[in-house]
Amino acid sequence: MAKFSVLKMDPTSLTTTSQLTMSNTSFGPVGETHNEIFLEKTFMASGYLTGVGFGIQLVLYCACVDMLWRQKQRRRSNIFLIAYISVLCAMNAIWTGTSAYGLQLTYIDNRNYPGGPFGFLLIEFSLPVNILSLASYIIGNVLADALMVWRCWVIWSASIGTRAYLVMVVPVLALLGSLAMGIIYAIETASPEGFFSRNATNFGIVFFALSMSLNLLLTIMIVIRLWIDRLRVLGGTVGRRYTSLMTVFVESAALYAVSSLLLLVTYSVGHPINQIFLGLSPAVQVIANYLIIYRIARGQAWSTGTLTIVDNAARRSLDIETPAVMEFEKE
């Protein structure tokens, strides 16, 4: 026979709870400023949004792997792309996991740290778990930027051939500079002064500024090149597939360009809301890259031979239409 237990509650506890609920007693943080409390709130919100971003990018990752694996042609390049996006997904997983653990350390394991959660945040970023978190962020950021540099070269080389190497000098130098600043930023953040020190902030601004400038530059370069090519092939069905507004948005990774701009502005002025954009930034960047790779897997992305395909399709269309026009004129 099943046994049931009845939870007995002390009436006095209900009275006490009722009294506490109805009283005006505040149990909020003591000895912390409004800005410090707001930073703690944004830090927690960032942890939740990081998980949301990871879930979205995980779905896109699975879709890309499925699409690439089912392609029977270009198997070697597909395997490379699967390995590449797997590394990106792993970096984002590390970032998400360490962010969640950071919340646990701040609000549960060290809740009584002198100065409260804000006091612990000042030293938390020098802990090994957060060094790992920042390293995964920087690695994922550089890998995603490298993909954008490659896509920009593909789009420009499709139009101007080997001269695209000259166009890509500045983006490549910016990518190398971003990598160097990212390493220095990680070292400064791991120092005893921590994430909020002046040196860490200064190097962080340079790192985010380089990464954002690189992405904005690549976005502008890709948009300009696609717009020129759009004018060239305007009107053709095949051409519109490669020059539509959606193509321009995805190929230029405009989504991440906007996100990185918000992060740079809020971080440089020291506004606590930068924590939210910092938490979302890795997922947004990875999502922008997955959208490009998904188009590659479907054969809808630009390649070095795209304009040749479009031109050939246009010629075939003219060859079909010309005889019809001539027959009409004869009649």
Band of residue 4 on the pLDDT scale cut at 50, 70, 90? very low
Of 212 and 95, which is predicted with more confidence? 95
Q: Measure Cα distances from 210 to 182, 205, 287, 289 in Å.
A: 10, 8, 20, 18
Q: Where are the domains of the chain?
A: 36-303
Contact, 289 vs 85, CB < 8 A? yes
Which of 10-24, 36-50, 204-218, 275-289 is predicted least confidently?
Answer: 10-24
CATH for 36-303 is 1.20.1070
Note the pLDDT of residue 200.
75
Angle in degrees, CA 194, 261, 297, rounded to 5: 105
Instruction: Report which DSSP code applies to 23.
Output: S
Return the pLDDT at 6: 46
| Confidence band, pLDDT 50/70/90 cuts, at residue 171 | very high
Q: Which of 1-5, 243-247, 277-281, 283-287 has the lowest mean pLDDT?
A: 1-5
Q: Which two tokens stand for residue 2?
A: 């099943």
Identify which of 129, 245, 130 has the alpha carbon closest to the alpha carbon of residue 185. Answer: 130
C-alpha 148: how far from its chain's center?
A: 12
Position 169 pLDDT exceeds 90: yes
